Structure 1
Amino acid sequence: MESTPKHQQLLHLLLLTTLIYLSSAISIQSSFPQEALPTKSGYLTINSTSGSSIFYTFYEAQNPRTPIYDTPIVIWLQGGPGCSSMLGNFYELGPFRVSFSLRHNVEHLTLVRNSGSWNRIFGVLFIDNPIGTGFSIAGSPDEVPRNQHDVAKHLFIAVREFIGLEKSFENRPIYATGESYAGKYVPAFGYYTLKKNARLAKSRRLNLAGVGIGNGLTDPEIQVGTHALNAYYSGLINGKQKMELEKLQEEAIRLTRNGNWSEATSARLRVLGTLSNMTGLATLYDFRRLKPYEDDLVGKFLSSVEIKRALKAKESISFEVCSDLVGNALNDDVMKSVRYMVEFLVKNTKVLLYQGQCDLRDGVVSAEVWMKKMKWEGIGKFLEAERNVWSVNDELAGYVQKWENLTHVVVMNAGHLVPTDQAVNSQAMIEDWVLEKGLFATGQVTQKPSHIGTCSIG
């Protein structure tokens, strides 16, 4: 049998490879159902001269329990720094979530209704913050905030402009919430707002009624020192690894105390990187997961010109879930504490702190350590308060500890993105906290658990 010439073999191989590629090629098709459109969306001007503006989407309450002019508005701020709140909108707590399916070798991204959306009985306002994040526009890189004061100043301007869009918005109570690096944004906005309100006429104030922080980075110097112990007692590292990690943590703490902010940020990243390598986990955001959160679905979905047009976003913006520009601008801010802002807020309004039980970055231990150091006259009573078993729909949802203005919640079977992992329970949490129902009622919680529940984390 005569052998095939080499060039013909190569041609056959090329043709075969091309056919295989064409048969398995994936294109993206996105759709945006009419009922999923926000009530309002667009831009809030920060600087009319430079064009800097903040992008927002607002979803009115689906089934408000009170007249609309009294219905609370919950603000959601994503973390990062520099991650878009469209992640919270379309992957966590908005009325619709991005869903993936593969049909006939075509990747379809569609929106499906979220049974645990936070706008069931409240209005929800998603803000791409700071400018330069998501669809928000920074007139120049120099305008991107580099500290929490400037972040808060921009947010105050944006929220006041939003409130001015409708007469019915004027007196509605506002609750600022967010997760992760918003553990700084939320306190900064709350602190700035209350200080600013004190100097403004009543008609120009924002009606801030409370702040809520989920899995927040709030007091980094203290929080970075918890990773080794947390991982060790979770059975994820051994004693030798614990000591190695503790040395890296001590270096991050030393640099922070010396005010070497950039080096301290890098040192914290070394701690987290080392922990990730030691454990081999798919993500530190949730030690149960075999693969990371699929937030890239949101990026793909929002890359469509049609979707941008539907949201009234600037079509020329190349959407990124998290902005390197903003992340770099706030690099020196990462290790700076805003605990003093939370201490001020808890004396003047109500504060919710919640964590997903399975988060290894900014989880339960990380938060409890800095909470104990709060300079607040009620902290002793809070630490002595009952840690109550919390149930939703007669099933264990987690634990609630409360004294006066401070409420702490541990959400079972959830990681860093609590609303993604426990949609219905997170909805129940935010509603009961705002409305002060059940274990979230005003004053000291004295109810003791009637039974002890168990929960698998495997």
Structure 2
Amino acid sequence: MLINICGSVSLWLFQMALWLVGTCKDPLHLSPFLERSDIRSALELSEVRDPQKVIPKSYAGFITVDKQLGNHMFFWFFPAISEPLAPVLVWLNGGPAISSMLGLLRENGPIRVTETISATGDKTSYKRWEKSWAESFAMLYIDNPVGAGYSYSDSGQRGWKTTNDGYTQDLFSFIIQFYILFPDYLNTQLYIGGQSYAGRFVPALAYRIHKEIKANRSSIPLAGIYMGGPFFDPYTQGLAQGLFYYSLGAISYAEYLNHQKSVRELFDRNDTDRESMASIIDKIVAATPYIEENYLTRVQPDYRQVQVLMNSKLIRDMVHVGSKRKFLTFNKDLHARFKSDAMLSTKPQLAEIMNNYKVLIYSGDMDGITTDVGTEEAIMTIPWFSQISYNNNTYRNRWYNDGTILGYYTHAGEFCRVIVRNAGHQTPYDQPDATQKMMLDFVRHGCIQASAAKKQITAALLTTHILTALMMSTGT
């Protein structure tokens, strides 16, 4: 009898030990498992298990990208919902220092943050979002750079990397370990993308991977990049910023010229010691005091909703971040350290990518932060193979759906340029259906695919224009 009691106690103690391990409040660091090739445990531990059964199958945790500094990057990965081993799309928000969970929960992820008013006050929760890019693609959201969102450094602020080489090295280390954790995805395509200040992160990371591939040091299946409202050439984009507001009548011609003058003076001085990050961005972007993420609707992203949800105990437990770290949708202290980086251009890196891979650059036509005209001006100064053709010989095509114009597009070589109508800086949030189709067409065909009926109409119109021109030239 005593032996049976002792056996029962031992079994109870063993089960209690397992329970304590399972409810450990420390962050889930996956790199140690990867180093000892224990992929199975890493996958089991990182799987997100939603008690409400709303969140699709996904994985989350931390990958250590710099052992010396103790830099750990948080990620949330969603395999494609409708197809196995679909292409992987990396998503990086900008800011800099804005969490990519903003993109997941408000733009193109399979769940949306919600807020309902109850008798006890505001309640932030989440719902399934079926217009997500994750329906067709494997979506990988990374809090970048270290210090943004849940990504953190054991060295504190000393571990924050705010140079192109620094944050690119951390991202590259992450991507290498991602494919150790999910090796099957080496058999499909990788597209690296994001929006706004990710116009610095995306070309830099893709260029680093490209160099490794050329040197036969990597088998990462890079197929292309995509960027929404990208901030990649601040001088050129800054000079053209006022054109958007001038064309709308929001500023006078004199104000437009004055803004150009302030941009030139900023870059001529190039004195980041005397400038703050806020003043640099303000002088580049603020052609008018009334800067709108969406000039049409004036809707601003609700960072607070995302922050409340990501800090909730339910989400913390599901994504394995522990109980000590605080999630910040936007890290102002980290943002302030990017003032030198904000003055630089990633055009050289982007040119190399455009000459070797598929590239999509899309803009919302009502984006008042990185305007479509500023982005277009910068594109036309990139030294890529199809530049002459794009600048002089290409035309904008109308993008229709059931008679409604969704936007406009140009396809030159491997480059796809898209303008999305009635959309602002957060383009996937404003136009979820259009951007979902845009990504499908880009990955599958390289750019927007017009319907057969619309191609016939376009051909007929082109024939009419040619005949009219011939008649005018001959005087008939």
User: What TM-score, normalized by structure 1, do the two folds share?
Assistant: 0.83
Distance 1:143 1:325, change over 3 A: same
| C-alpha contact 2:277 2:338 (8 A) present in aligned 1 | no
2:62 to 23, 43, 47: 43
2:395 to 386, 392, 397: 386
Question: Which residue of structure 1 lines up, in the alignment, with residue 41 of structure 2?
Answer: none
> What is the alpha-carbon distance in structure 2 between the residues aligned to residue 450 and residue 312 of structure 1?
55
What CA deviation, in whole Å up to 9, does each residue of 1:14-68 have, x standing for no partner?
Answer: xxxxxxxxxxxxxxxxx9732315511111111234431110001111111xxx3
Question: Which residue of structure 2 lines up, in the alignment, with residue 402 of structure 1?
Answer: 411
Question: Which residue of structure 2 lines up, in the alignment, with residue 25 of structure 1?
Answer: none
Give 1:179 shift.
0.1
Q: Does 1:271 align with 2:275?
A: no
| C-alpha contact 1:32 1:111 (8 A) present in aligned 2 | no
| C-alpha contact 1:99 1:109 (8 A) present in aligned 2 | yes
Q: Does 1:143 align with 2:159?
A: yes
Percent identity between the two aligned chains: 25
Distance 1:158 1:242, change over 3 A: same
> What is the alpha-carbon distance in structure 2 between the residues aligned to residue 267 and residue 326 of structure 1?
15
1:250 to 241, 250, 264: 264
| C-alpha contact 2:110 2:133 (8 A) present in aligned 1 | yes
> What is the alpha-carbon distance in structure 2 between the residues aligned to residue 261 and residue 92 of structure 1?
36
> What is the alpha-carbon distance in structure 2 between the residues aligned to residue 261 and residue 431 of structure 1?
44
| C-alpha contact 1:253 1:264 (8 A) present in aligned 2 | no
Give 1:272 shift.
5.9
| C-alpha contact 1:179 1:214 (8 A) present in aligned 2 | yes
Structure 2, unmatched stretches of 5+, are 1-49, 462-476
Give 1:450 shift.
6.9
Question: Which residue of structure 2 lines up, in the alignment, with residue 337 of structure 1?
Answer: 345
Question: Which residue of structure 2 lines up, in the alignment, with residue 195 of structure 1?
Answer: 211
2:72 to 53, 60, 70: 53
> What is the alpha-carbon distance in structure 2 between the residues aligned to residue 437 and residue 260 of structure 1?
40
Question: Which residue of structure 2 lines up, in the alignment, with residue 15 of structure 1?
Answer: none
| C-alpha contact 1:78 1:182 (8 A) present in aligned 2 | yes
Give 1:101 shift.
1.5
Question: Which residue of structure 2 lines up, in the alignment, with residue 27 of structure 1?
Answer: none
Alignment of 1:252-401 (within 5 A): 252-256=266-270, 260=272, 263=275, 265=277, 267-271=279-283, 275-277=287-289, 281=290, 283-383=291-391, 384-392=393-401, 394-401=403-410
SS of aligned partner of 1:223: helix
Q: Does 1:424 align with 2:436?
A: no
Give 1:162 shift.
1.0
Question: Which residue of structure 2 lines up, in the alignment, with residue 128 of structure 1?
Answer: 143
What CA deviation, in whole Å up to 9, does each residue of 1:255-295 have, x standing for no partner?
Answer: 34xx7576385553343675452xxx4x5211123442223
Give 1:78 shift.
0.6
| C-alpha contact 1:302 1:308 (8 A) present in aligned 2 | yes
Question: Which residue of structure 1 lines up, in the alignment, with residue 21 of structure 2?
Answer: none
Distance 1:390 1:90, change over 3 A: same
Structure 1, unmatched stretches of 5+, are 1-30, 453-458
More displaced 10-residue stretch of structure 1: 414-423 or 312-321: 312-321
Give 1:437 shift.
6.5
SS of aligned partner of 1:224: helix
Q: Which amino acid aligns with 1:269?
A: I
What CA deviation, in whole Å up to 9, does each residue of 1:70-92 have, x standing for no partner?
Answer: x2000001101111000001111
Cα RMSD after superposing both structures: 2.4
2:186 to 170, 177, 185: 170
Distance 1:438 1:139, change over 3 A: closer
SS of aligned partner of 1:99: strand
